């Protein structure tokens, strides 16, 4: 059975854990989503399934995937007599979505196969978009959590606490993505049993 999975989020080097003196990049927190496609060929469902298993993301273990990372868009630390704190902390999701494209779809005379492909293709796109929506909630949570951190004597001490906070939220994000995939797997399995 083809599975849908989200790749683990990547922590960018030097993302927030250094004292920043200016804003990073643009201030939009809208997600940055890049979609790429891999091509499958075939005239039958079995041929297409074989192609998906060979060419699909994650070494053919997924129909589609979303590689998700969190980018700082506005992170600024402020040093006062009281110590160091975050003045701003906003993040956005960067997602690289990979979807299948059936090369022989237009040429296929099998209406049922085309209809099945269209449904599968639409589902894969919506599924990966949902992974991005889940990640957006966590991007917001990262910023909000950093803003609530108390002032520390030095920015280095604040950075250590921020890194722990960031990693804790990343673990929660990973669990939420896996939970979504597990729920969808059960739902799809039930649908296929009834078919």
Q: How does pLDDT run along the chain (195 residues), one tens digit per residue?
A: 222 233 233 333 333 333 333 333 445 789 999 999 999 999 999 999 999 999 999 888 899 999 999 999 999 999 999 999 999 999 999 999 999 999 999 999 999 999 999 999 999 999 999 999 999 999 999 999 999 999 999 999 999 999 999 999 999 999 999 999 999 989 888 877 765
Listed by start position, the domains of the chain span 3-194
What are the CA-CA distances from residue 11 to residues 45, 64, 171, 191 (Å)? 39, 22, 12, 36
What is the C-alpha to C-alpha distance for residues 54 and 60, in angstroms, rounded to an integer?
Answer: 5
- pLDDT score of 174: 97
- pLDDT score of 187: 86
Nearest to 134 by CA among 102, 179, 81, 189: 179
What is the C-alpha to C-alpha distance for residues 124 and 62, in angstroms, rounded to an integer?
Answer: 10
pTM: 0.82
What is the C-alpha to C-alpha distance for residues 66 and 96, in angstroms, rounded to an integer?
Answer: 6
Question: Judging by DSSP bridges, how do beta strands 62-80 and 83-102 pair with one another?
Answer: antiparallel
- pLDDT score of 27: 57
- pLDDT score of 194: 67
Chain mean position to CA 38? 18
């Amino acid at each position: 059975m083809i599975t849908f999975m989200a790749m683990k989020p990547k922590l960018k080097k030097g993302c927030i854990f250094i004292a920043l003196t200016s804003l990073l990049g643009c201030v939009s927190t809208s997600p940055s989503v890049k979609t790429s496609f891999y091509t499958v060929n075939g005239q039958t469902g079995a041929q297409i399934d074989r192609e998906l298993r060979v060419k699909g993301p994650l070494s053919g273990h997924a129909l589609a995937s979303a590689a998700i990372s969190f980018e700082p868009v506005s992170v600024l630390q402020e040093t006062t007599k009281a110590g160091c704190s975050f003045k701003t902390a906003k993040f956005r999701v960067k997602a690289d979505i990979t979807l299948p494209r059936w090369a022989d779809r237009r040429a296929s005379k099998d209406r049922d196969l085309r209809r099945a492909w269209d449904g599968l293709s639409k589902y894969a796109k919506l599924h990966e978009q949902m992974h991005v929506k889940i990640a957006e909630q966590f991007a917001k949570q990262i910023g909000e959590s950093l803003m609530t951190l108390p002032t520390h004597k030095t920015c280095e001490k604040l950075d250590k606490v921020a890194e722990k906070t960031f990693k804790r939220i990343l673990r929660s994000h990973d669990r939420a993505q896996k939970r979504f995939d597990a729920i969808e797997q059960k739902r799809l399995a039930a649908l296929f049993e009834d078919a």
